[in-house]
Structure 1
Amino acid sequence: MHFELPLGAFIAATIVLIPLPWHWRARNVPTLSIIGWLFLSNLTFGINSIIWADNVLDVATIWCDIVTKLQIGANLGLPMCCLCLCIHLERIASVREARTTFEQKRWRMVFDLSMCWGLPMIYMALHYVVQGHRFDIVQYFGCRPSTYVSLPAVFLVWVPPLTAAVLTFIYASIALHHFFRRRIIFTRHLQNSNSGLTASRYFRLMAMAVVQMFWTIIVTSLNMWFTCRSGLRPWTGWADVHYNFSRIGMFPALLIPEFALRWTFILWWMLPATSVIFVAFFAFGHDAAREYRACVSWIKGTIFRTKASQSIKLDLPSPSFPHPPSIPKFNAYSATPNPFIENKVDLPFSQSPTASYDPSSFRSSTSSLPTSTSSVPSPKRSSVEV
């Protein structure tokens, strides 16, 4: 088992997220797309190297269908991201747009999303034309896309990334030409363009795009040479190329020639190396150092506020509540005198629970009651019969 494969892939997937916060604030779609493609590719490479570390069994068919298409899309997605970045930098360096408006930013975002994600999806769909069978499983590396090595495969699989790399070089050259013509007022022009770029960021992005362009040409050329080293196969027709399409190729390490296995390791490590190259341009600059200081300050402030709140809670006295006022018990003999009770009044019915109710006696009894409060005599102390 090669434990360095998943370790290297997961480390590469983690470090590409370092420049994510400041590129997210800048809404830089090409660099965010580069981060997305590199993260997904390294993550899938690491998972594959764990699942198929010592076997070539078909244990995750749907996973391999998805992963192999993502690997194909990344071959074009990364060069297209660099191309969009250089187009944006060339537009800023030129004088065609003195100031970027909100409408122009929105349309540029739509264009970048279409180039960085839309075209790779079309590229993934077109790969089916030269896909001889479903996919291959290689020990140590997991599932890999299959390609019917022929002349149509050269134009559909390897020419588009090389074309994007060449166009990136052209736009980068034009952007540098604009810079040398206006190098004196270049910084002021960046401020007036309302692009959120400084001269340091501009050249860092330009250098990253150019280096990635050369690296893409090297990786694509090596991959094309390694795949086509045995020669091109004749295109015998759609039905013959896609015959038995559901077949899954399985390649144990013992059956792979040593030369082919060595080159497979080299090409596999090209992806983590691409991630390291990308991070090297953004993880050690002034902007990165400022972000690191801000992150450390935020962590310290969070820890300090947490400790301070805990200490305040510990120092607070326990709350004390006053005793509720005592309510005196009711005493019928010490209550306010009632004239109807203090003066013996004959009730119209007996207090016995078995007595009957007589309305006539009630009328005769109540007729003797006083009709006005003014004529009520002053109460006198008397015994109450119960």
Structure 2
Amino acid sequence: MTLPWHSQVDIIAAFSFLGFVLISIPLYWHCVAWNIGCVLYIFWVGGQCLFQAINVLVWRDNVINIAPIWCDIFIRFYIGASIGVCTASLVINRRLYHIANVSSVSITRADKRRNIITDFLIGLGIPVLAIAVYWVYEGHRFDLMEGVGCIEAYPNTWLALILYYLWPIPIGLVSATYCVLTLTAFFKRRRRFTELMASNANITFNRYFRLMGLASLEFLFTLPLTVYNITENFKLAPYKWRGMANLHSRFGRVDQYPAVIWRADPQLISVINFRLWMPIACALVFFLFFGLAEEARKHYKLAITSIAKKVGISTMERSSEFDSSVSKTVGLSGTALPTFINRTIRRASLDSVFSDDQSAGHSAEGSHDKVLHSPSGLSVGSSTFIGSPVSEKDQEHAIHPVPPLPSLPFMRVPDSSAVHHPTPSKSEVLGGRGAGGRGRTGATQRGLKLHRDGLSSHDFVS
């Protein structure tokens, strides 16, 4: 049983929005890694899904020309995206080939810049060229179809065959050549390839083979689907060529086709279904390759943690339970003191939330002038440590698990009235490299002499 057409339109719109969301998820880390091929793939396929979802909703049950400028933009983007998906696959295969055949693990900045420019020229330049030549075989401004929206209008001519339908075939053949050469180079230079992977943080073995799998799958389907698309389109009534003037006559018109008219042709239904579902399939395949990988799961975890903090949901329940148990077991003898803990989270990194390191945040100097704190303020899992204040009365009964280190004796050089020694010279104070010659200052030598005489340095402290 076939669903009603309007129900099919709703399903297509839902999957188109879903495809746009799913393919946009890995965009950030591909931008960070400078994977130009994947970024361009997301741009073309994600743009198709988004535009398509809007179109089928706006023209779900009508063919009214309410947004002609929008349609002018969309049909040209669609022409570019149809070629851009193939060029993005070519960029990916070309980059993988150069990685497998690189002669040195170190690449200069000029080489990186040159590779990026070349990738953009292939991934954007060829689709823009296809958009520019669209006017040559364009029949009129555009068409409107109920449940589909605005579509490009060009008759089945030999110009359309050469300037539009045949683009994916040479691009797919070049991409297939790069893929075969990449596999050959990988198996020949596997040890060198391992060193390159270890020196490059932006690409790993898993990511490398996922990229290769995506590009290979794309060109494996490009050739047969292109042939199928050409066959289905030319099964329709061919246009009898009468020259460019006849082709562009009444160029500004907009033809409108209600669903009851265009759905009466089974061949046209097949072509439209292929057109609507192909971007969705490409988006889902890309998400399966990159949206479920290990680095993707890490980004999902960070995103969920960030959103949970913004809405006020705690992500530290286990740590809080452990904190309470520590506070109950570690404390003063016979005295239950409340714990006042102010958690301070470093915003610079999400990893600090899950850190077990404690930062004291207090210097050792002048600690006798501050209020003492009990160890019950220990906060496990927090990035700061702030103890609970202890009164002077409870201080006497406090149990310190680790006794404090004894402070170094305070030694002051006695003046000339207490001990009759000559004032040290400048060379003795700075380096002690005069008569002593062993790196000790004059004050230290006198202190050692006092120690041999049985005198304490505290006797000279005023």
Task: Give me the TM-score of the superposition, normalised by structure 1.
Answer: 0.75
Measured against aligned partners, the alpha-carbon deviations of 1:67-100 in whole angstroms (never above 9, x if no partner) come to 0001100011111011011111000101445432
Q: Which residue of 1 aligns with 2:253?
A: 247
Structure 1 residue 160 corresponds to structure 2 residue 160: no
Give the Cα separation in 1 of the matches to 2:266 and 2:176: 33
Q: Which residue of 1 aligns with 2:74?
A: 67
Give the Cα separation in 1 of the matches to 2:146 and 2:31: 38
Q: Which residue of 1 aligns with 2:239?
A: 233
Give the Cα separation in 2 of the matches to 1:77 and 1:29: 12
- Which of structures 1 and 2 has the larger relative contact order (alpha carbons within 8 angstroms, sep 6+)? 1
CA distance 1:154–1:307, change in 2 (3 Å): closer
Kept in 2: contact 1:204–1:282 (CA 8 A): yes
CA distance 1:95–1:113, change in 2 (3 Å): closer
Give the Cα separation in 2 of the matches to 1:8 and 1:33: 21
Q: Which runs of 5+ in 2 are unaligned?
A: 1-5, 317-340, 343-462
2:28 to 21, 26, 38: 21
Q: Which residue of 2 aligns with 1:278?
A: 286
Q: Which residue of 1 aligns with 2:209?
A: 203
Give the Cα separation in 2 of the matches to 1:235 and 1:101: 54
2:121 to 114, 120, 123: 114
Residues 367-386 of structure 1: pairs in structure 2 closer than 5 A:
none
CA distance 1:82–1:244, change in 2 (3 Å): same
Kept in 2: contact 1:89–1:206 (CA 8 A): yes
TM-superposed CA distance for 1:231, in Å, is 5.7
Kept in 2: contact 1:20–1:35 (CA 8 A): yes
Look up the equivalent residue of 1:30 and give its one-letter code.
Answer: G
Give the Cα separation in 2 of the matches to 1:306 and 1:107: 47
Q: Which residue of 1 aligns with 2:112?
A: 105
Give the Cα separation in 2 of the matches to 1:167 and 1:139: 38
Measured against aligned partners, the alpha-carbon deviations of 1:300-345 in whole angstroms (never above 9, x if no partner) come to 555669999xx97xxxxxxxxxxxxxxxxxxxxxxxxxxxxxxxxx
1:41 to 42, 45, 48: 48
Kept in 1: contact 2:59–2:149 (CA 8 A): yes
Kept in 1: contact 2:235–2:267 (CA 8 A): no
TM-superposed CA distance for 1:124, in Å, is 0.4
TM-superposed CA distance for 1:275, in Å, is 0.6
TM-superposed CA distance for 1:49, in Å, is 0.3
Q: Which residue of 1 aligns with 2:456?
A: none
Q: Greater Rg, structure 1 or structure 2? A: 1
Look up the equivalent residue of 2:106 and give its one-letter code.
Answer: R
1:88 to 81, 84, 95: 95
| SS in structure 2 at match of 1:281 | helix
| SS in structure 2 at match of 1:16 | helix
TM-superposed CA distance for 1:125, in Å, is 1.1
Kept in 1: contact 2:80–2:128 (CA 8 A): yes
Give the Cα separation in 2 of the matches to 1:67 and 1:52: 14
Measured against aligned partners, the alpha-carbon deviations of 1:43-65 in whole angstroms (never above 9, x if no partner) come to 11011101111111111111111
| SS in structure 1 at match of 2:190 | coil
TM-superposed CA distance for 1:230, in Å, is 3.0
Q: Which residue of 2 aligns with 1:291?
A: 299
| SS in structure 2 at match of 1:250 | strand
Look up the equivalent residue of 1:113 and give its one-letter code.
Answer: F
Measured against aligned partners, the alpha-carbon deviations of 1:9-28 in whole angstroms (never above 9, x if no partner) come to 11111111111121111021
Look up the equivalent residue of 1:153 and give its one-letter code.
Answer: A
Kept in 2: contact 1:91–1:97 (CA 8 A): no
Give the Cα separation in 2 of the matches to 1:97 and 1:145: 48
2:195 to 188, 203, 221: 188
Kindly, what percent of the aligned residue pairs are identical? 28
Give the Cα separation in 1 of the matches to 2:102 and 2:123: 25
Look up the equivalent residue of 1:89 and give its one-letter code.
Answer: L
Look up the equivalent residue of 1:292 and give its one-letter code.
Answer: Y
Give the Cα separation in 1 of the matches to 2:78 and 2:31: 24
Q: Which runs of 5+ in 1 are unaligned?
A: 313-386
Q: Which residue of 2 aligns with 1:3?
A: 10
Kept in 1: contact 2:84–2:123 (CA 8 A): yes
| SS in structure 1 at match of 2:156 | coil
Look up the equivalent residue of 1:206 and give its one-letter code.
Answer: M
CA distance 1:234–1:258, change in 2 (3 Å): closer
TM-superposed CA distance for 1:185, in Å, is 4.0
Structure 1 residue 173 corresponds to structure 2 residue 180: yes
1:149 to 152, 156, 160: 156
| SS in structure 2 at match of 1:178 | helix
CA root-mean-square deviation: 2.4
Q: Which residue of 2 aligns with 1:125?
A: 132
TM-superposed CA distance for 1:268, in Å, is 1.1
CA distance 1:286–1:239, change in 2 (3 Å): same
Look up the equivalent residue of 1:205 and give its one-letter code.
Answer: L
Kept in 1: contact 2:105–2:195 (CA 8 A): no
Give the Cα separation in 1 of the matches to 2:315 and 2:179: 52
